[in-house]
Amino acid sequence: MLRLRPTYAVERVTDINLEDLKAENIKGLIFDLDNTLMHPQTSYLPDDIEQWLDTVKNDFKITILSNNPYTHYVKAAGKRVGCVAYEKAGKPRRKAALKALKDLDLLPNQVAIIGDRPLTDIWVGQRLGMTTILVDPLLKHKEIWIIKYLRKLEKIFITKALRTFSGQDEK
C-alpha cells in the first residue's frame, strides 16, 4: 500500500532541525529545486535559504535532484547553491536518486531527501529508505492547474496516512 507520510514536515527548509538530522547519522541532503529551494523557474533563491544553505554545507554533503527538464537552468541553480544538480530526474523513479547517492558516496539511511511534493520527492525517498522531509511550497499561488490539482490529491493521501498512523482510522 502506498504511504506518503514523510518522516518530517516543516514549513520551509530553514525550519529543518539540523541537529536532529546529525543525531540520526544523516550525512547528506538531497534537495528538490523548484518550490523547495527556489521560486519555480525563476532562479530566485531567497536570502534566508541561501544563508541557511551556507551553514548546511559545513556539516552535510548536498545535491539537487530536480524533475525540471531544463539543463541550463538546473545546472545554473546547482552552481549558485554550490553543489551538483541533476535535471530530468524522473522522480519517483529511483535511477537519478541512486546516481545522486553514489555521487554523494553515502548509503540511503545516511541521507534525507527534502521536497515539496509527496508523489515525487517523498515517494522516491521512501522507496530507497531515506529520511524524508516535506516542505510547504514556496509559491503555491503561481502554479499551473495540473500541479494545483495534484497537490489536492497529495493532500488527501497525506491526510489519510496521518489518520491511519495515529490510529484514528479503524479501516
pLDDT in tens, 90-101: 999 999 999 999
> 113: helix, coil or strand?
strand
pLDDT digits (tens, 9 = 90+) for 31-72: 999 999 998 878 889 999 999 999 999 999 999 999 999 999
Q: Which three cell numbers stand for residue 149?
A: 490539482
d(CA 113, CA 67): 14
Residue 138 gets which letter from DSSP? S
| Cβ–Cβ < 8 Å for 13, 112 | no
126 inside domain: yes
d(CA 105, CA 16): 23
Question: How many structural domains compose the chain?
Answer: 1
Supply the CATH number for residue 41's domain.
Answer: 3.40.50.1000
* Host domain of residue 46: 8-166
108 inside domain: yes
Q: What is the pLDDT of residue 84?
A: 97
97 inside domain: yes
pLDDT at 165 over 60: no
2 inside domain: no
